[in-house]
């Protein structure tokens, strides 16, 4: 190579590097990042969330009987094939990846919150209400609340279940960051951090903090948030019908490697009817819907 050509080549390489660096800096503020870029991503919303502090006004009430509250929920290790996390079960490849903006907007009902994607530190749902449905307790307290759209859908789901002779009860819905922190710490004390993380979310990573999730049992409260709930007629009804109302069973059996959590037949997450129907039809998780990377072992 003569020296003139060498100088030109070096100049081109420098230019290319500069273009690449400038390009990285232009990443959209709320573009989802891969775990390789950042092992904990924060959902970023356009809104600031004025917050509804009514939710916190009776927070001393019982928050114990919530979910996965024992390390014996381990009869549920699924054997589903989770090796192909981004393909529809019928083998057809779906590369739509869902609406990425909704996925990373904490105020969207379609937000993805999991072991990789956290809520912003100052997140508070803005529109919490008390759904008019049966709960396993009487008090009007924080864990009885949900975001308005999810609450309405829950009322419809409970009514639909009753038409089929299935009587459900809410166990635990919204949790403030403070409540999730206390709960998680209690589980860590009881079972150790590694085990606790298989059934309880690190604060900031729980769907309960979004106001879009609820743990449900039968009206007698038996097997509430315990693996035996999976054998009940209520669980069977939810598995068959929840998506019709916009809810998904968020942590399905056989998908532990993708969701990062044990099977929770009682944990419903509102995502809206369209996404729920697609997830139900394809038998996938919210991670797979967004073509997100499996979160197992995080
Ligand atoms: N049990 C679920 C993972 C939570 O703590 O949000
Ligand atoms: Zn739950």
| DSSP per-residue codes, 209-220 | GGT-EEEEEETT
Average the pLDDT over 252-267 and give the result: 98
What are the Cα distances from residue 113, in Å, to 44, 151, 208, 256, 293? 11, 19, 10, 15, 13
Of residues 199 and 61, more confidence is placed in 199
Looking up tokens 């090796």, which residue turns up? 83
Kindly report which listed range (8-12, 77-81, 129-133, 246-250) carries the lowest average pLDDT score: 77-81
Task: State the pTM of this model.
Answer: 0.75
Burial class (CB in 10 A: 0-12, 13-18, 19+), 206: buried
Q: Atom 2 in ligand 1: which residue has the minimum CA distance?
A: 200
Average the pLDDT over 256-260 and give the result: 97
Q: Report the atom number in ligand 1 closest to the C-alpha of 264.
A: 1
Does 67 qualify as catalytic in the annotation?
A: no
Average the pLDDT over 249-256 and give the result: 98
Going by pLDDT thresholds of 50, 70 and 90, the confidence category of residue 40 is confident
- Which of 124, 264, 287, 288 is an active site residue? 264
What are the Cα distances from residue 69, in Å, to 84, 134, 172, 199, 260? 30, 22, 12, 8, 16
Decide: 248 and 286 in contact? Cβ < 8 Å: yes
Q: Is the minimum distance from the CB of 200 to ligand 1 under 6 angstroms?
A: yes
Going by pLDDT thresholds of 50, 70 and 90, the confidence category of residue 109 is very high
Q: Report the Cα 51 to chain-centroid distance in Å.
A: 20
Q: Is the minimum distance from the CB of 215 to ligand 1 under 6 angstroms?
A: no
Share above pLDDT 90 across residues of the chain, in percent, rounded to a whole number? 64
Q: Is the minimum distance from the CB of 209 to ligand 1 under 6 angstroms?
A: no
Share above pLDDT 70 across residues of the chain, in percent, rounded to a whole number? 68
Decide: 282 and 243 in contact? Cβ < 8 Å: no
Ligand 1, pocket-test mutation among 207, 211, 252, most atoms within 8 A of CB: 207
Say whether 284 sits in a helix, a strand or coil: coil
Ligand 1, pocket-test mutation among 199, 249, 260, 286, most atoms within 8 A of CB: 199
Per residue in 120-162, pLDDT tens?
999 999 999 999 999 999 999 999 999 999 999 999 999 999 9
Per residue in 230-242, pLDDT tens?
999 999 999 999 9
- Is the pLDDT at 34 greater than 70, yes or no? no
> What local confidence, expressed as pLDDT, does residue 38 receive?
38
Of residues 165 and 79, more confidence is placed in 165
Q: What is the DSSP letter of 53?
A: G
Q: Which residues contact 261 (CB under 8 A, 6 or more apart)?
A: 68, 198, 199, 201, 251
Residues 206, 208, 213, 215, CA torsion sign: positive
- Paired tokens of 196: 């606790």
Q: Report the atom number in ligand 1 closest to the C-alpha of 261.
A: 3
Going by pLDDT thresholds of 50, 70 and 90, the confidence category of residue 45 is low
Average the pLDDT over 175-184 and give the result: 98
- Is the pLDDT at 298 greater than 90, yes or no? no
> What local confidence, expressed as pLDDT, does residue 297 receive?
52
Q: Is the minimum distance from the CB of 67 to ligand 1 under 6 angstroms?
A: yes
- Is the pLDDT at 84 greater than 90, yes or no? no
Average pLDDT along the chain? 78
Nearest CA to 119 out of 129, 111, 131, 127 is that of 111
Nearest CA to 259 out of 128, 80, 136, 100 is that of 80
- Is the pLDDT at 27 greater than 50, yes or no? no
- Paired tokens of 97: 């990846």
Kindly report which listed range (30-39, 43-52, 261-270) carries the lowest average pLDDT score: 30-39
- Is the pLDDT at 26 greater than 50, yes or no? no
What are the Cα distances from residue 157, in Å, to 43, 51, 88, 250, 274? 28, 26, 27, 16, 15
Q: Is the minimum distance from the CB of 210 to ligand 1 under 6 angstroms?
A: no
Q: Report the atom number in ligand 1 closest to the C-alpha of 68.
A: 1
Say whether 278 sits in a helix, a strand or coil: helix
Ligand 1, pocket-test mutation among 261, 264, 268, most atoms within 8 A of CB: 261
Q: Is the minimum distance from the CB of 142 to ligand 1 under 6 angstroms?
A: no
> What local confidence, expressed as pLDDT, does residue 292 receive?
83
Decide: 125 and 49 in contact? Cβ < 8 Å: yes
């Amino acid at each position: 190579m003569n020296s003139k050509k060498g100088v030109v080549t070096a100049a081109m390489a420098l230019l290319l590097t500069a273009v690449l660096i400038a390009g990285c800096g232009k990443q959209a503020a709320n573009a989802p990042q891969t775990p390789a870029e950042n092992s904990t991503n924060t959902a970023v919303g356009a809104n600031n969330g004025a917050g509804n502090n009514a939710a916190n006004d009776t927070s001393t009430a019982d928050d114990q009987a919530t979910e996965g509250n024992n390390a014996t929920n381990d009869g549920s290790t699924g054997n589903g094939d989770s090796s192909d996390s981004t393909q529809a079960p019928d083998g057809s490849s779906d590369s739509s990846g869902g609406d990425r903006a909704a996925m990373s907007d904490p105020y969207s009902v379609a937000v993805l919150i999991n072991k990789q994607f956290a809520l912003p530190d100052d997140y508070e749902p803005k529109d919490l209400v008390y759904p008019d449905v049966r709960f396993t307790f009487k008090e009007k307290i924080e864990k009885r609340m949900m975001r308005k759209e999810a609450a309405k859908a829950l009322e419809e789901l409970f009514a639909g279940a009753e038409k089929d002779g299935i009587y459900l009860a809410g166990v635990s819905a919204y949790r403030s960051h403070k409540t999730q922190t206390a709960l998680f710490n209690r589980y860590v004390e009881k079972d150790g951090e590694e085990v606790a993380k298989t059934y309880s979310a690190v604060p900031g990573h729980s769907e309960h903090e979004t106001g879009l999730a609820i743990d449900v049992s039968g009206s007698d409260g038996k097997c509430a948030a315990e693996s035996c709930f999976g054998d009940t007629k209520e669980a069977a009804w939810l598995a068959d019908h929840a998506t019709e109302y916009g809810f998904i069973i968020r942590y399905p059996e056989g998908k532990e490697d993708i969701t990062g959590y044990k099977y929770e037949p009682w944990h419903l997450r509102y995502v809206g009817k369209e996404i729920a129907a697609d997830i139900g039809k394809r038998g996938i998780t919210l991670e797979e819907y967004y073509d997100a990377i499996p979160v197992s072992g995080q």
